[in-house]
Chain A
Amino acid sequence: MMSSKFTRLSTTASSSLRGCLGSKTNIPSITTFSRGFASKSKKEDQNAGGKIKIEFKPFEVYRCDAPENFAYTDKAELLDFFTLMSRMRRMEVVSDQLYKQKLIRGFCHLYNGQEAVAAGMEAASLKTDPVITAYRDHGWMVARGASPAETLAELMMKATGCSRGKGGSMHMFHIPSFYGGHGIVGAQTPLGAGIAFALKYRGQKEVCWTYYGDGAANQGQLFEAYNMAKLWSLPCVFVCENNHYAMGTSTGRASADLNYFERAHFIPGIKVDGMNVLAVKKAGEFVADYVRSGKGPFVMEMDTYRYVGHSMSDPGTTYRTRDEVSAIRAERDPIEKVRHLLLQNNLATEEELKQIENAARKEMDDAMEFATKSPFPDDKEVFTHIYSKDVPTRSVETPTVVS
């Protein structure tokens, strides 16, 4: 019998929702999944010792020693990963459907295939570590502990969304430690360096995880951020989610140096198989230790892949073959990898995994219902949050009709 992973959401997310909306809004009780990674949850149906050893591709490193290319894991941790990644995948599938129905508007960038990066890094980092990323952020919201309901509500531009409906798909934020959600490629990287500076300035133990893509890796401002981070020894980890295509341009046609983990030549780097959640976690823990001990910044490169196009406006087939996409999906899918590990090692049955997937489906269905029933923001919200206090906007001078 599988230990229940369902807990009633009591503290963080619902109170933050209430904080956003005021006491009058009726928020349904949202059933979510506990974020109990291996070290905390109880174990059942164990092998002797309870742990299995999983080996993965050796890490490529630059200016540092490589961590060992294996990890010990157990049923509880693998089930947690499976659950989180299934929920992230389900979020993206639902977003895809809603976009095609024009219930989500704007530009929508899906994370299908890249789930292992967010899931593994979540396991490796502290919940209070700030995370900042670009626009492929729905999965990050789920990983950071936001509820699918508020994420979906934001996608559908409803007032109950995390950004009150004013940000949409590309501008998801979640107090206290998910700093978004950014549209301009690469612009979030100096922001990440600044967040790291503030952490160091305030003597906090947190590390700032700054994510960007292979396209952004050629932005000048990223190199400015690298320089400042190293110069002032900031606790900033620059993580390149290399999914090999910047919109429609492959890495080989955009970058003179494809070793993104070496690009900040004065900062140590590590390259990770981004489709293997255990490898991601191992590397993440290694880097977190390094940076948290005050040794300065680090660069990580996640070798990952997106099955979908750059955004919902891009079919994703004009610059790569369908065979390539299906091959990677068949051989390296992060969720299938974990499923395989669980089944091969008799840690779980097909039935248990099916239950988890069904629960994820149900969670998203509930979220969809919540989001559909939520109201759009009031028109006058177009004028709020421009300045910190209401500054009168002159442009609302529609001429009065002279009778």
Chain B
Amino acid sequence: MKKINNVNVIFNYNTIFMKKSILPPIQTQLSSTFSRSFHSSPTPHSPFKPSSISLSQNTTHNTNNATTKKDDEIPSGPTQKMNLFTAINNAMDIALKSDPKSVVCGEDVGFGGVFRCSVDLRSKHGAHRVFNTPLCEQGIIGFAIGMAAMGCTPIAEIQFADYIFPAFDQIVNEAAKYRYRAGGQFNVGGLTIRTPYGAVGHGGLYHSQSPEAYFCHTPGLKVVVPTSPIQAKGLLLASIRDPNPVLFFEPKWLYRSAVEEVPIEDYMIPLGKARIVREGEDITVVGWGAQMNVLAQACQRAEEKLGIKCELIDLRTLAPWDVETVENSVKKTGRLLISHEAPKTGGFAAEIASTIQERCFLHLESPIQRVCGYDTPFPLIFEKFYVPDHLKNYEAIKYSVEF
């Protein structure tokens, strides 16, 4: 166990500012706001053995401050209970109100969208600002790029991230390179592409993919992945207003199941900054999006069973990612685990692992762990077997600490 100097600094910061968080500790939030546990116990017809952990919805949380991080980025005004799609809807509503050059376009967004993210926007802001496109992803994104080049703020939706590939050329070859090839004369910074990603329990090959790595590999783009309603609203507003093209991947699993008291005012969360969700000194655990809940469960289990104190970091922005926060954490703990649903080979964990070993080589006490999806297409019937669940992560934490 290492002595942590930084933690004291953080505590002093909080004491100096005498800020009382209006939010309950993050851990309780995560565990109590999900209407069912992340991987629910199998139906009678499931071939998989039930996990030996039963995850109670109201985990009595250890109120030791060392394990929570107060969030100074969130305003303390009046809040409203919102789930993820409502928070995103709220963010788009605010964006449309505050920026007269903004539009929301995509397949079926007019009636509210297949996940209800754009409900009522058309009636509030007009059909000329919230409109359906034909079924043509390449066309939708190319069209949005053109609008952005003229200084508008298009918020284009791709109905499922699995369908983003016809638009891949437009995103990578047009949007990402626009500013560079024009020497700064033109840019498409107003462009934001929103798309639901990730496992949903039964999505199969084409409703479950996590394609973030393909876009992180393209300089010129920003890639943002929120993990909860409060984060999503702030990050989406920041993404829309960021002067660079941003891809905003929304974890579809959490659209209904994540519920929080979200501030109703206009607020933004800075891009490019990670958030330390839980502090610890034994191992740094990094993730994003829906995987954060899985990692929280794994960290909780590791603490309860083995007394391992994990430092859990939500990366939030993958491109550009907050190298400094992760590096500082690993220099403190000496161990790193990264987890994502996307296949392991070439997944974004590989980038993080590689950078950290470059910067923290002599600080590392064990090999960097990557707990990811297997190198297979996202399966249908095998989903529970495929996903990097809390038990796989727990095993990896244990392995790393005991190395």
Contact = CB atoms under 8 A, between A and B. Distances in A.
B108 to A, nearest CB: 4
B376 A165 contact: no
A396 B204 CA distance: 20
Contact of A377 (B111, B204, B381): B381
Contacts of B344: 394-395
A386 B132 contact: no
B130 to A, nearest CB: 13
A291 interface: no
B303 interface: no
A269 interface: no
Contact of B202 (A106, A216, A383): A106
A219 B376 contact: no
Contacts of A318: 111-112
B396 A399 contact: yes
Given A157-B381, A318-B111, A382-B376, A220 B136 contact: yes
B126 interface: no
Contacts of B402: 401-402
B116 to A, nearest CB: 10
Given A165-B381, A381-B382, A395-B375, A183 B206 contact: yes
A166 B166 contact: no
Nearest to A183: B206
B382 A399 contact: no
A248 B108 contact: yes
B356 interface: no
A254 B203 contact: no
Contacts of A219: 135-136, 166
B374 A393 contact: yes
Nearest to A222: B136
Contacts of A394: 344-345, 375
B399 interface: yes
Contacts of A168: 204, 380-381
Interface in B197-239: 201-207
A17 B207 CA distance: 29
A166 B380 contact: yes
A402 B385 contact: no
Interface in A76-115: 102-103, 105-107
B28 interface: no
A253 interface: yes
B372 interface: yes
B272 interface: no
A141 to B, nearest CB: 17
Contacts of B201: 105
A186 interface: yes
A247 interface: yes
A170 interface: yes
Interface string A183-206: 111100000000000000000000
Nearest to B135: A215
B134 A382 contact: no
A110 B112 CA distance: 23
A318 B369 CA distance: 47
Given A184-B206, A393-B375, A399-B369, A249 B396 contact: no
B36 interface: no
Question: Which has the most chain B C-beta neighbours within 10 Å: A102, A246, A249, A396?
Answer: A249
Interface string B5-29: 0000000000000000000000000
A255 B139 CA distance: 13
B128 to A, nearest CB: 14
Q: Is the interface of B mostly helix, strand, loop or mixed?
A: loop
B56 interface: no
Contacts, number: 134
Contact of A248 (B47, B111, B372): B111
B354 interface: no
A105 B108 contact: no
A145 interface: no
Contacts of A215: 134-135
Given A376-B47, A399-B396, A166 B379 contact: yes
A247 B374 contact: no
B135 A157 contact: no
A124 to B, nearest CB: 28
Interface string B380-396: 11100110000010011
B138 interface: yes
A170 B160 CA distance: 16
B380 A157 contact: yes
Contacts of B112: 318
B381 A254 contact: no
Contacts of B189: none
B111 A319 contact: yes
A344 interface: no
Question: Which has the most chain A C-beta neighbours within 10 Å: B114, B369, B392?
Answer: B114
B169 to A, nearest CB: 11
A395 B382 contact: no
A177 interface: no
B399 A400 contact: yes
Nearest to B386: A382
B139 A220 contact: yes
Question: Which has the most chain A C-beta neighbours within 10 Å: B132, B377, B402?
Answer: B132
Contacts of B196: none
A351 interface: no
A218 interface: yes
A331 interface: no
Given A157-B380, A377-B381, A396 B374 contact: yes
Interface string A300-324: 0000000000000110001100000
Contacts of B403: 402
B43 interface: yes
A247 B114 contact: yes
Interface of B: 43, 45, 47, 107-108, 110-112, 114, 132-136, 138-139, 159, 162-163, 165-166, 201-207, 343-345, 369, 372-377, 379-382, 385-386, 392, 395-396, 398-400, 402-403
22 contacts: A102-B43, A105-B202, A106-B202, A106-B204, A106-B380, A107-B203, A157-B380, A167-B380, A168-B380, A183-B162, A185-B163, A216-B135, A218-B139, A246-B134, A247-B135, A248-B108, A254-B135, A376-B47, A383-B374, A386-B376, A400-B399, A401-B398
Interface of A: 102-103, 105-107, 157, 165-168, 170-171, 183-186, 215-216, 218-221, 246-249, 253-255, 313-314, 318-319, 376-377, 379, 381-383, 386, 393-396, 398-402
Given A248-B114, A249-B108, A249-B110, 14 more contacts: A105-B380, A106-B207, A106-B380, A168-B381, A170-B204, A170-B206, A220-B139, A247-B108, A247-B135, A247-B159, A249-B132, A382-B385, A401-B395, A401-B399
